[in-house]
Structure 1
Amino acid sequence: MTVRCQYRPMSTTLPQTQEPRFAGLLEEARALQPRTTALRRTIHRHPEQGLDLPVTQAAVLAELADLPLAVTTGRGLSSVVAVLEGARPGPTVLLRGDMDALPLQEDTGLDYASEVDGTMHACGHDTHVAMLASAARLLSARRDELAGRVVFMFQPGEEGQHGARIMLDEGLLDAAGPRVGKALAIHITSTLRSGVITCRPGPIMASADTFHVTVTGRGGHGGMPHDAIDPIPPTAAMVGALQTMVARKISVHEPAVVTVAHLKAGTTTNIIPETALMEGTIRTLSEATRALVHKEIRQVCEHVAAAHGCTAEVTVVPGYPVTVNDDTVGPHVLDLATATIGQSYSEPMLDPLMGAEDFSYILNQVPGAMAFLGACPPTVDLATAEANHSNRVLFDDTAMEHGVTLYAAFALDALR
């Protein structure tokens, strides 16, 4: 996952002018940094996958226990929802931090590396949890400044299990009473300079669907293909035909990716199999293009198979929708970063990512934004830094100060 943004020279100074409601915010986040780092490393040592994260949930509950929050846990997953009531009436904002890890063996050599075989926080969700917990602590101390309420969303199951959708079904947006009116998620990335916040309006991450094609012919002897109907040639032809479909059916102004990632057929060298399997991923940045690609994949595969005397069974499995930032909230996130952290750490994101996020379910219902936080360690060359999802990825802990600051600034700004 490589994030491209507009480069600005680095500065180590605080913003020269701060609005009164943001005064001292970055310094308060820095004061919490030992606590933020300790929680992050605890969770990093004990990663959990999927929707059931009892150890992570317990760590979050313990961290929030002394704060003035109304806390509930999920029924169908190990989520934590904490509500902070402000001193005065007002709207409701939501801040999200995902909690789950990946099926990966860690090879970083860190002294707080994963102690769970085959599971690693390689996407930085441990930092998201720690930043959100510290933002809850910071905002609790500033409760008298809030006109409204903050919903802190600690979410399992982002890595493909639709955890956000399940939390929505369990009443997340109404957890505080008055419905959530604005939302923010921050995602850390190892491929940006540490501490940089980047965001954009409109699509910021792609939809992600999978396709599965079974081509059926008639098996036979490898030396006598004329007595069989070989499913392998049409399957091979589909690989190229799908790329031609993208180039000729999809507008060049509407990005679409169709990647064939898995082919399987046969058992040995002298047998023509009866079936062949092809699978892959579909990524788009608009729902209209998404629907068109789904339709065209079916048409291409069925017709290519028919041309070879075979049949094709095509299944498209919908995944996460396009993640679309609000046209106003997206740019305003950068304004908040400039006001609290400094202009050199606030960089417009040039291009959407073709990765996917289930925060898209939230943004389909609530105006809001996803932002990225750079965390490439200063000892690592940015050009060769291991990316998110690598077994060797590293994140700079100090970047979390900026994440905590942005979470808090977003709430303070919305609830003034």
Structure 2
Amino acid sequence: MSSTPAESPASAAAPAASAATAAPDFPAEARALADDLIALRRELHRNPELGNDLPETQARVLAALEGLPLEITTGTSLTSVTAVLRGAKPGPTVLLRGDMDGLPVDEQTGLDFASANGNMHACGHDLHTAGLVGAARLLSAHSDELSGNVVFMFQPGEEGPGGAAPMIEEGVLDAAGTRADAAFGVHVLPGEPGTFTTRRGPLMAGSNILRVTFHGAGGHGSQPHNALDPVPPLVEYCQALQVMVTRRFSVFDPVVLAVTNLSAGEAVNVIPASASMGGSVRTLSQETTTAFPQHAKELADSIAAAHGCTAEFSWEVLYPPTLNDPEQAGFTLDTLAQVFGAERVNDAEDPFMGSEDFSFVLQEVPGAFYFLHASPPEIDPDTAAMNHSPLVQFDDAVLADQAASLAALAFAHNTRASAPQG
């Protein structure tokens, strides 16, 4: 995680500010929806589903959107929901995203609406879903004032196997008939409740998996000279990788490597024929994501050769880095400051090293991802359990502001983009 974010200065002269000022009072309107959104969130929280197959969650979302002036389609290869709102005025298309899936975590919060099915919304996706429903309701109430279109992207599978890429393949970015011009998404985190954080450029790391197996020739533990022991090159490689990270990559474009799996033989008196490692590699740019496997493979091959072994190399890119468009991130900071007050908006100094598959959307469309901090008032934000913990809790009192923030960004973006150019 990043260091404590620095406060974002207000930017009263920015175009986003004037657009946000002209918008409806979304925070006030969202407060009137709060009870319904909280009830929806808690219903989702009791029944988390995993991956790309979320039939009950999809059904709840469809029911929550019923009666709104939306063009709704569902996914073919996954249980996604895409809803399009068409404004009465001409203008661009903006996409808003909320993920819907949970995690295979046994909840230990003790909440009266806690999950009992062995899964848990331990990353707050239940809030993301309910908040996006709220944004759809807010913007639908103002469709006569809205310029352009809004696409609401209800996405499964963010925690794996990944739902953004298949939704893009099925046409979510073109759901309104024209390509989305901008995209925004929000994620809850522990922290001072009701405060927002984002930054220009890299916001979250790319997630990659490294696997290497060294192949030798097995033998008797008492006669290593008659074998090709793959364990020494494995150990040497794992240590050399850490040196490689500090010597091959700039500290200003950091790489985080964690070796999380080691595997060799079972019997203590047998030299195995192969030994393998696995690890997580986090990267913050496309350059490091491309360069790391090249250097890591060269290192594996050279160490294997020095020991008379061979190396089998595997590199898998799960999610690319989440890269905020600088202009759209600045627009997000300015708009949120105008709507909620500059004291509630933080411009982060450093990226977060977690990963997000909204990164696939931001590869295709300029936009911004941002965080809403949501620790309950009785929990110290400095010691609060983190996302993915069985103990993590989020205060659903932030739902109104979450919905309002998405609605405000969409409305302000399309208003600004549709304004006559002086």
TM-score (norm 2): 0.94
**Structure 2 counterpart of 1:282, one-letter code:** V
**Identical amino acids, percent of aligned pairs:** 49
Match of 2:235, SS?
Answer: helix
Q: Match for residue 103 of structure 1?
A: 104
Q: CA deviation at 1:255?
A: 0.7
Separation (CA, whole Å) in 1 of partners of 2:264 and 2:169: 40
8 Å CA contact retained: 1:18, 1:339: no
Separation (CA, whole Å) in 2 of partners of 1:244 and 1:2: 23
Separation (CA, whole Å) in 2 of partners of 1:330 and 1:149: 20
8 Å CA contact retained: 1:18, 1:340: no
Q: CA deviation at 1:106?
A: 0.8
Q: Does 1:87 align with 2:88?
A: yes
Correspondence list, 1:257-336, <5 A: 257-336=256-335
Against the structure 1 CA distance between its residues 131 and 185, is the aligned structure 2 distance closer, same or farther, given a 3 Å change threshold? same
Deviations along 1:89-133, one digit per CA (max 9) or x if unpaired, are 11110000001111111111111111212x111111110000000
Q: Match for residue 146 of structure 1?
A: 146
Q: CA deviation at 1:415?
A: 2.2
Q: Does 1:52 align with 2:63?
A: no
Deviations along 1:20-46, one digit per CA (max 9) or x if unpaired, are 533422111111111111111111111
Separation (CA, whole Å) in 1 of partners of 2:19 and 2:208: 44
Q: Match for residue 183 of structure 2?
A: 183
8 Å CA contact retained: 1:22, 1:340: no
Correspondence list, 1:55-66, <5 A: 55-66=56-67
Match of 2:28, SS?
Answer: helix
Deviations along 1:135-161, one digit per CA (max 9) or x if unpaired, are 101111111110111100000011132
Separation (CA, whole Å) in 2 of partners of 1:232 and 1:210: 21
8 Å CA contact retained: 2:19, 2:412: no
Separation (CA, whole Å) in 2 of partners of 1:85 and 1:22: 17
**Structure 1 counterpart of 2:83, one-letter code:** A
**What's the Cα RMSD here?**
1.6
Separation (CA, whole Å) in 2 of partners of 1:389 and 1:225: 44
Aligned length: 407
Separation (CA, whole Å) in 1 of partners of 2:152 and 2:318: 25
Match of 1:376, SS?
Answer: coil
Q: In terms of mean alpha carbon deviation, does 286-295 or 223-232 score higher? A: 223-232
8 Å CA contact retained: 1:91, 1:180: yes
Gaps of 5+ in 2: 9-17, 416-422
8 Å CA contact retained: 1:26, 1:402: yes
Q: Match for residue 215 of structure 1?
A: 214
8 Å CA contact retained: 1:336, 1:409: yes
Correspondence list, 1:226-237, <5 A: 226-237=225-236
Separation (CA, whole Å) in 1 of partners of 2:65 and 2:40: 11
Q: In terms of mean alpha carbon deviation, does 399-408 or 22-31 score higher? A: 22-31
Match of 1:263, SS?
Answer: strand
List, as ranges, runs of 4+ consecutive aligned residues in structure 1 with deviation greater than 2 Å.
1-4, 17-24
Deviations along 1:168-221, one digit per CA (max 9) or x if unpaired, are 11011111112210110001101x211111111111111111111111111111
8 Å CA contact retained: 1:2, 1:387: no
Separation (CA, whole Å) in 1 of partners of 2:210 and 2:155: 27
Q: CA deviation at 1:19?
A: 5.5
Q: Match for residue 24 of structure 1?
A: 25
Deviations along 1:42-76, one digit per CA (max 9) or x if unpaired, are 11111011111000000000000111111000000
Separation (CA, whole Å) in 1 of partners of 2:136 and 2:309: 59
**Structure 1 counterpart of 2:184, one-letter code:** L
**Structure 2 counterpart of 1:259, one-letter code:** A
Q: Match for residue 124 of structure 2?
A: 124
Deviations along 1:292-335, one digit per CA (max 9) or x if unpaired, are 11101101111111111111100111211111111111011111
8 Å CA contact retained: 2:2, 2:350: no
8 Å CA contact retained: 1:57, 1:78: yes
Separation (CA, whole Å) in 2 of partners of 1:329 and 1:55: 34
Separation (CA, whole Å) in 1 of partners of 2:263 and 2:122: 29
Deviations along 1:241-280, one digit per CA (max 9) or x if unpaired, are 0011111111222111122110011112111111111001
Q: Match for residue 14 of structure 1?
A: none
8 Å CA contact retained: 1:231, 1:310: yes
Against the structure 1 CA distance between its residues 295 and 390, is the aligned structure 2 distance closer, same or farther, given a 3 Å change threshold? same
Separation (CA, whole Å) in 2 of partners of 1:19 and 1:48: 36
Separation (CA, whole Å) in 2 of partners of 1:398 and 1:104: 24
8 Å CA contact retained: 2:2, 2:351: no
Separation (CA, whole Å) in 2 of partners of 1:18 and 1:211: 46
Q: Match for residue 341 of structure 1?
A: 340
Separation (CA, whole Å) in 1 of partners of 2:372 and 2:20: 22
